[in-house]
């Protein structure tokens, strides 16, 4: 071979700078840093939770989920496998490239269930919502109910 190749800087995934409530279960490997996790929370493997994220009590975050900065998840929520939260809408025609002033926040209410492989853009979701697997949430959800599709639309209201 004889060619010189530069080696990359290799970092390990792990947990650092995070505040955990009582009774939290985390299945490794994960990458969790600078966030706050409530009590009685389960976090599956291959999950990334970035700094500033808040996850409420009694939540379940399934494997392969990505929760970016500026996400707040209420209590008793279930986040399915492979759910992706996005904080950059590409407002300038491309990625923000580190300009966090262009990022937007996401607020998920209480008792929200998000199905596997859903994508959640910067939105607000009220309490008592079910979001179907594979859905793409592009707008605020203000009515408790069942939502699905791309873009996600109300299928039926949840009766209280």
The CATH number linked to 110 is 2.160.10.10
Query: Would you say residue 35 lies in a domain?
Result: yes
Measured CA distances, 123 to 54, 89, 113, 153 (Å): 15, 11, 15, 14
This prediction has a pTM of 0.94
Number of domains in the chain: 1
Q: What is the SS3 assignment for 102?
A: helix
| Structure token pair of residue 101 | 């002033």
Query: Would you say residue 2 lies in a domain?
Result: no
- pLDDT exceeds cutoff 70 at 146: yes
pLDDT for the residue 92:
87
Query: Would you say residue 9 lies in a domain?
Result: no
Query: Would you say residue 56 lies in a domain?
Result: yes
**Straight-line distance from the first to the last Cα atom of the chain, in angstroms, rounded to the nearest whole number:** 69
User: What average pLDDT does the structure give for the chain?
Assistant: 95
Are the CB atoms for 95 and 88 separated by under 8 Å? yes
User: Please, which contacts does 146-151 make with residues 24 or more away whose CB atoms are closer than 8 Å?
Assistant: 148/115
What is the CB neighbour count within 10 angstroms for residue 117?
17
Query: Would you say residue 6 lies in a domain?
Result: no
Report how far residue 134's alpha carbon sits from residue 82's, in angstroms, rounded to the nearest whole number.
Answer: 9
Query: Would you say residue 58 lies in a domain?
Result: yes
Under the banding of pLDDT at 50, 70 and 90, the label for residue 160 is low
- pLDDT exceeds cutoff 90 at 98: no
Are the CB atoms for 81 and 114 separated by under 8 Å? no
pLDDT for the residue 141:
98
Which residues 6+ apart lie within 8 Å of 7 measured at CB? none
Under the banding of pLDDT at 50, 70 and 90, the label for residue 91 is confident
Q: Which domain holds residue 109?
A: 15-89+99-157
Query: Would you say residue 138 lies in a domain?
Result: yes
């Amino acid at each position: 071979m004889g060619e010189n190749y530069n080696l990359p800087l290799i970092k390990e995934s792990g947990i650092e700078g995070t505040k955990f409530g009582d009774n939290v279960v985390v299945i490794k490997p994960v990458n969790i840093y600078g966030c706050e996790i409530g009590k009685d929370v389960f976090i599956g493997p291959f999950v990334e939770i970035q700094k500033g994220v808040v996850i409420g009590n009694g939540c379940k975050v399934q494997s392969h989920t990505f929760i970016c900065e500026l996400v707040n998840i209420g209590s008793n929520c279930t986040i399915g496998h492979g759910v992706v939260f996005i904080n950059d809408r590409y407002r300038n025609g491309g990625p923000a490239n580190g300009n966090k002033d262009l990022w937007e926040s996401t607020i998920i209410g209480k008792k929200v269930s998000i199905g596997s492989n859903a994508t959640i853009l910067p939105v607000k979701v009220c309490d008592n919502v079910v979001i179907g697997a594979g859905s793409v949430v592009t707008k605020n959800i203000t009515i408790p109910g069942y939502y699905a599709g791309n873009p996600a639309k109300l299928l039926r209201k949840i009766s209280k």
